[in-house]
Amino acid sequence: GAGVSQSPSNKVTEKGKDVELRCDPISGHTALYWYRQSLGQGLEFLIYFQGNSAPDKSGLPSDRFSAERTGGSVSTLTIQRTQQEDSAVYLCASSFSVGQGYDEQFFGPGTRLTVL
Amino acid sequence: AQSVTQLDSQVPVFEEAPVELRCNYSSSVSVYLFWYVQYPNQGLQLLLKYLSGSTLVESINGFEAEFNKSQTSFHLRKPSVHISDTAEYFCAVSERGSYIPTFGRGTSLIVHP
């Protein structure tokens, strides 16, 4: 079956514009994560969805960032009024997880966001 | 709170030489440990993981890692590297019962011919 897919692969936008990044997880995976990967930095956790539970938004860096997951499948990460410091690779991962912490995460190829 | 330290940001080695990528973590509870690899222009993929049992775990492509509880380490080793091993390697830790792993900053392994 298909892996995790993300679109677009690259996004260049102007400062102040809004952007939407999409993630299609592996079918049947109940857990979905968004991370941000900046140059020279590790993966920064942003948000976690598990089934129909309320998402864990504790990693979102500001209220300009939001995410939703429709029907327990596709997820969209929205960044409003983008700033240059938002430039990074945004990674999505999914897992067949029930919150035990031992499940392998399957990552998408990422969306490279460049804010001019 | 847990944290993960990868001591080397970059490790250059020659082909067929041995390599060790270091990972230390801090946590007050039991943990699960992972190594992920990111090849150029690709997403991260699991290389190996420690959940319980034998402290030495191996991957299908010759890497191994050993969980050392007293030193809170999970170093990754390979006795003889190939050019194709050139990639970014990330160590990750999940506390038991938690659903959000903590990743290290990554180590770039550069294998020279």
Task: Say if B7 is an interface residue toward chain A (CB within 8 Å).
Answer: no
Structure tokens that stand for B93 in this block: 């830790």
| pLDDT given for residue A1 in this prediction | 55
| pLDDT given for residue A101 in this prediction | 72
CA distances (Å), origin B23, targets B37, B86, B94, B104: 14, 18, 14, 8
A85-109 pLDDT, tens digit per residue, is: 999 999 999 998 665 677 889 999 9
Task: Say if B1 is an interface residue toward chain A (CB within 8 Å).
Answer: no
Mean pLDDT of A26-36: 93
**In angstroms, how far is the first alpha carbon of chain A from the final one?**
37
Mean pLDDT of A53-58: 90
Mean pLDDT of A53-72: 92
Mean pLDDT of B105-109: 95
Task: Say if B110 is an interface residue toward chain A (CB within 8 Å).
Answer: no
**In angstroms, how far is the first alpha carbon of chain B from the final one?**
41
Please answer yes or no on whether B103 and A102 come within 8 Å at the CB atom: no
Whether A111 has a pLDDT exceeding 90, the answer reads yes
Q: Is A35 helix (H, G, I), strand (E, B) or coil?
A: strand
Please answer yes or no on whether B43 and A108 come within 8 Å at the CB atom: yes
B31-60 pLDDT, tens digit per residue, is: 899 999 999 888 899 999 998 888 899 998
Whether A41 has a pLDDT exceeding 90, the answer reads no
